[in-house]
Structure 1
Amino acid sequence: MKTKLIDRLRPLMLGAVLLSGAAHAAPQSLDRVVAIVDNDVVMQSQLDQRVREVQQTIAKRGGGVPPAGALEQQVLERLIVENLQLQIGERSGIRITDEELNQAVATIAQRNGMSPEQFRAALAHDGLSFDDAREQIKREMIISRVRQRRVAERIQVSEQEVKNFLNSDLGKMQMSEEYRLANILIPTPESANSTAIQAAAQQAGQVYQQLKQGADFGKLAIERSASENALEGGEMGWRKAGQLPPDFAKMLSSMGVGDVTQPIRIPNGFIILKLEEKRGGSESVLRDEVHVRHILIKPSEIRSEAATKELAEKLYDRITSGEDFATLAKSFSEDPGSALNGGDLNWVDPDSLVPEFREQMADAQQGVVTKPFRTQYGWHVLEVLGRRATDSTEKAREQQAMSVLRNRKYDEELQTWLRQIRDEAYVEVKLPGADQATQ
């Protein structure tokens, strides 16, 4: 949870008073503001902590660890964009309860094969505070929900788009090819003139030559890239060919693992891609499917998290008291895709659902309504109407195509939205040696 500037500075002012009265106390360096971001600030302590975390991550990958000074600008920009998203979350009334946070921490520990105690010990071994880790997880959960509301919910993929994609050369290719990529982005400003474009092209060319001479890609990404994933060494994760622009997909299909592309001109700069791994895709013939219906209640600017949960609980009580599920779904559910159908999601593949929904659905008895539970979308009650195993090869292909197209649109929309909120924000950088970027 962010605080106002005066709240951040109050402990520092108190510390200054105490120090002034302690003639023999050792001098201490006070925290200071390194960036003003709309109605909030980024503190030097936050920047230092994140720089240390990035250095530890780089060290674990076995690469050379850049000095803190080489990372500060990149890390600060990341903190600024995170801060803007957290402010949007605060204004939108997004809250993470202690119960949700504890569950998220437990899930992360479980995915790493650890108990909560082992997870805490592992953090301590890496020099990370458990409380700081919890706070970072909380920030990431808020940012995820902000992006879901502002970006993901606006993305629509039509049945015709799915059909066109599956019939296209790229659609066929993506069923068999998948790439793990990293990137370096050399940006150009919006409405850049020819001089700025030429300068960026020259910089990208220099980076490419360094790579050809054996420079470490991850280290160069951290030092030179303007991409959102720069601090992760440019790691993009796995991408189906169909998620990429056609020219990129054709280029990657003929590349070997470890190869890098020459700088490629894109709308916001020049990008260099590295192919780290590739693998083929396969589809199971038989899939478990579940016929399920649900009611979704979302928190909003005018309805708090507590009020949302309370409404979901009241609807659960009304259903268990005999009221019709479908009627209540039509009246109250805020899932536009199912509300008019009485909350009916029809037959769904559990793997296509978010983990919390999938787990509740797996544990639910057929014909018994679950108690309200929370996902990133809001509060749900659900009822399983049936289960079956079916030959769904064609349906699986359509669902996969839908996911690929949504992810492609999401990636594009997210980058546009992040740049938009950054451009519209008032940001004043107070980092020594940095240009004062004020808007």
Structure 2
Amino acid sequence: MIKQENIKRTIVVALLCNLLFGSFLVHAEVLDTIIAVVEEDVILERELQKEVAVIEQRIQQSNAAIPPAYVLRKQVLEKMIVDKLQRQLAEKAGITVSEEMLNSSAADIARRNNMDIEQFRAELEGQGISYQSFLDNMRNEIIINQLRGREIGGRIKVTDREVEHYMETQDKIGEESTQYHLGHILIAVKEGASSTEIQKAMSKAEGIVGSLRGGQDFSQTAISDSDDANALKGGDLGWRTLSEVPTLFVNEIRQMKQGDVSEPIRSPSGFHIVKMLELKGTDNHMITKTKVRHILIKTNELVDDAEANKRLLALKARIADGDDFAALARAHSDDKGSALKGGSLDWVGPGDLVKPFEEAMVKLGINEVSDPVQTQFGWHIIQVLGRENKDDSSEFKKNLVREAIRKRKIEEETELWVRRLRDEAFVEIYQDRL
């Protein structure tokens, strides 16, 4: 009797194990379902679920409404496809990110947020973001940025004439002191699209404009409908001066007020819709110029760091006793270009000199001589002879225009490049699994 009960119990346990194990296998099979084939790689259901969860959290933190699950999965999948195509191209090009570079970038982000790396890790985990996930995303962004820099950045040139032409023909008084906070939606049209496909995209864009002007939320609409890379950020392009606005939008932007939504704007990529989220003005650009001189001692096989320090401290003592700095620079400095001018580097502005030199220089009073300072060039003693505040608005404006034209060209070229990459790739999406 006992034996029969044991047999029954064994059978029941075996059945339960089979049911549980079978359930586990079904669950594992679902998670490993292929959602899309991207060239020689695939995107699995678990990868899509993980990325959707990250995007949902980001949308919640921005207080935007989360779109329907099917819409969000479709948008996230499209982003993953484009990212995977770029990663594949980067791998073929041999583009990698070392652990050292990754850790250095993470430490830099932590420092900019006034935290050390452990505090930054704790802050991420407090927001429900694993540190490893953060590193993986950052590695992906760095690789893609390096790829785009290689494929696109090197081809982009901005001439002095382009800067002058912009300032002569497009710049107006006060426009560069205005900043525009823009939202953007793209309804994409693939290269070689038929007239029917183009008309369908245009009708969709016109319908969206009507809905937005009727009060529909822009951020949610961008997340749901935009084909632009910023779709999952609610279409937010951030704050820009007029020179940083894509050329295609400039004339439209000039006429818009806060809250306005543009008509669909045609480009080779499709139809663009722009919303003026906010406007604000900016002040003149003032910088501090410093008149500075130095004495440099380079290290070599005969002069090590200790010897260079010793020599400079001796020279500093002689200056304190009344010896002429310029004469000592001419006699002892290894920077032959400035030595001929008594060590003078003349007037310099922010960013003109290497960081350790500039950091030491800004702490000095007028006529004060620094202790020895090390840079990649060797060891220096530094003396500040004067400071003045200067309105650098004109030069600053030219530099802003130059950088904005370059950024605009990169954005326009990147949009076309990404769209071409996507259109020319072999991608199969299993729609029934979305």
Residue 98 (1) aligns with residue 104 (2): no
CA RMSD of aligned residues (A): 3.5
1:272 and 2:279 matched: no
Structure 1 residues 384 and 197, CA gap change in structure 2 (3 angstroms): farther
Counterpart contact for 2:191–2:420, Cα < 8 Å: no
**Deviation at residue 286 of structure 1 after TM alignment:** 2.9
**Could you tell me which residue of structure 1 aligns to residue 418 of structure 2?**
418
For residues 106 and 419 of structure 1, the distance between their equivalents in structure 2, rounded to whole angstroms, comes to 34
The TM-score with structure 1 as length reference comes to 0.70
Match of 2:28 in 1: 29
Task: Please say which structure displays the higher CA radius of gyration.
Answer: 2
Deviates more, 1:237-246 or 1:136-145: 237-246
Query: CA–CA distance in 2 between the matches of 1:413 and 1:385?
Result: 45
Identity %: 33
Instruction: Give the residue type in structure 1 aligned to 2:415.
Output: Q
Task: Please tell me whether the aligned partners of residues 70 and 223 of structure 1 are also in contact (alpha carbons under 8 angstroms).
Answer: yes
Closer/same/farther in 2, CA of residues 420 and 320 from structure 1, 3 Å limit? farther
State how far apart, in whole Å, the 2-side matches of 1:361 and 1:290 are.
Answer: 13
Shift of 1:201: 1.7
Residue 233 (structure 1) shift: 0.5
- Matching residue of 2:80: 79
Shift of the alpha carbon at 1:63?
A: 1.9
> 1:178·1:280 contact (CA, 8 Å) conserved in 2?
yes
Q: 1:198 deviation in Å? A: 1.9
> Equivalent residues in 2 for 1:172-321 (5 A)?
174-244=175-245, 248-288=249-289, 320=300
Cα distance in 2 for partners of 1:384, 1:400 equals 34
Give the AA of the match of 2:150: R
- Please give the alpha-carbon distance, in whole angstroms, between the structure 1 residues aligned to 2:239 and 2:351: 18
What is the deviation of 1:88?
A: 2.2
Matches within 5 A, 1:264-413: 264-288=265-289, 320=300, 359=355, 362=358, 369-370=375-376, 391=390, 392-413=392-413
SS in structure 1 at match of 2:278: strand
1:403 deviates by 0.7
Amino acid at match of 2:417: W
Q: Which secondary structure state, in structure 2, belongs to the residue aligned with residue 175 of structure 1? A: helix
Code of the residue aligned with 2:376 in structure 1: it is T
Instruction: Write the letter of the residue equivalent to 2:395.
Output: K
Is the CA contact 2:354–2:375 (under 8 Å) kept in the aligned structure 1?
A: no
What is the aligned partner in structure 1 of residue 315 from structure 2? none
Whole-angstrom distance in 2 between the partners of 1:348 and 1:144: 32
Report Cα offsets for 1:353-411 as digits up to 9, x if no partner.
xxxx975674589996529xxxxxxxxx9x99999868444322221121111111111
- C-alpha distance in 1, partners of 2:284/2:137? 36
Between 185-194 and 202-211, report the one with greater CA deviation: 185-194
Relative to structure 1, the CA distance from residue 47 to residue 401 in structure 2 (aligned partners, 3 Å threshold; closer, same or farther) is: same
* Cα distance, 1:275 vs structure 2: 1.0
List gaps (5 residues or longer) in structure 2.
1-16, 293-297, 303-345, 362-371
Asked if the contact 1:186/1:204 (under 8 Å) is kept, the reply is yes
**Counterpart residue number, 1:430:** 430
Partner of 2:165: 164
Q: Is the Cα contact below 8 Å between 1:320 and 1:369 reproduced in 2?
A: no
* Aligned partner of residue 142 in structure 2, secondary structure: helix
CA–CA distance in structure 2, aligned partners of residues 289 and 397 of structure 1? 21
Deviation, 1:349, is: 6.2
Are the equivalent residues in 2 in contact too, given 1:175–1:282 (CA < 8 A)? no
Is contact 1:364-1:384 (8 Å) kept? no
Q: Give the aligned length.
A: 352
Q: Which residue of 2 aligns with 1:121?
A: 122
Letter in 2 for 1:44: E
Judged with a 3 Å threshold, the aligned counterparts in structure 2 of structure 1 residues 393 and 243 are, in CA distance, closer, same or farther, namely: closer
Aligned AA (1:103): S
Tell me, in whole angstroms, the C-alpha distance in 1 between the residues paired with 2:180 and 2:149: 25
- Listed as ranges, the gaps of 5+ residues in structure 1 are 1-21, 292-317, 323-345, 372-380, 435-439
